[in-house]
Amino acid sequence: MSATAFILGHTAVSSPPACPELRLHLASEVTPLWEATESYLEQNNVPPPYWAFPWVGGQALARYILDHPQLVAGKSVLDFASGSGLVGIAAKLAGAASVLATDIDRVALSAIALNMKENGVTFEVSDRDVLDEQDCPWDVIVAGDVCYEKPMAQKTFAWLRRCSKAGAKALMADPGRAYLPKTGLMRLAEITIACSLDLEDKTSRDVGIFQIVG
C-alpha cells in the first residue's frame, strides 16, 4: 500500500480547532490509527503517525502566523519538522514567497502533499535533516512543539540559535513541554488551544509563541 493510500484510508478531512479556515487529513480517533499503523510502520520503517494529529504547538504557531501575516509575507520560510504541513500551509496562505517543509518521516511528506492540495497551495517538501546543515538561507524558521524529547530539543534549539545569529527570525511554539529551554527565548504571545485528552492531559493548553534570540 502506498503512503498516500494509507493516509486516505485512515484519516478524514477536518479543521484544527484553532485554524477553522484550514483543512487537513487528520485522524478522527487516536487509538485506532495507532493500532492500524503498527504493521504498516514495521514493514515500511517509518516513524509513528505524528502527521495525523493537530498538535497544539503547530496550531498555535499557524494561528499566530495567520493573524500576523507580516511575519512571513514576501519571505522565505522553513517549516521544520512539519508533520501535517499545518504551519507551512498557514505561512503560504499568509503570503510567504516560498516555503520549504521538512520532515524525516516520508509518510508525513505524502500527508503534506495531500494537505497542500486541500488548501490550494503548493510548496517544496523534503526529508532532508536540516539540523546537520551549516547554511541557513531562510528568512523565517518555524518550529511547533519540538521540545518533548531532550536530545531533539537540545539539538534543535542549538541549531535555531545559530540560525538566529545568522539573521533568520526563528519562531517556536510550545505548551510547556519538559525540555523547553529556560533561556534564549523571547515570548511574543500566548494562545489557548482546545485539544483532545487522547493527546494531552487537558482539554486545552496554553501555548507560548517564542522568538529565539542569540
Percent of the chain residues past pLDDT 70, beyond the cut:
93
For residue 20, is pLDDT > 80?
yes
Q: What is the mean pLDDT of the chain?
A: 91
114, 86 contact by CB (below 8 A): no
For residue range 155-177, list pLDDT tens digits in order.
999 999 999 999 999 999 999 88
For residue range 88-137, list pLDDT tens digits in order.
999 999 999 999 999 999 999 999 999 999 999 999 999 999 998 989 99
- Distances in Å between the Cα of 70 and the Cα atoms of 41, 113, 172 are 39, 25, 17
Fold of 3-212: Rossmann fold (3.40.50)
* Residue of 35 and 101 predicted with greater confidence: 101
Rounded to 10 degrees, the C-alpha dihedral 151/7/201/160 comes to 30
- The separation between CA 205 and the C-alpha centre of its own chain, rounded to angstroms, equals 16
Beta partners for residue 192, in sequence order: 206
195, 176 contact by CB (below 8 A): no
- Distances in Å between the Cα of 106 and the Cα atoms of 48, 137, 172, 189 are 11, 23, 23, 32
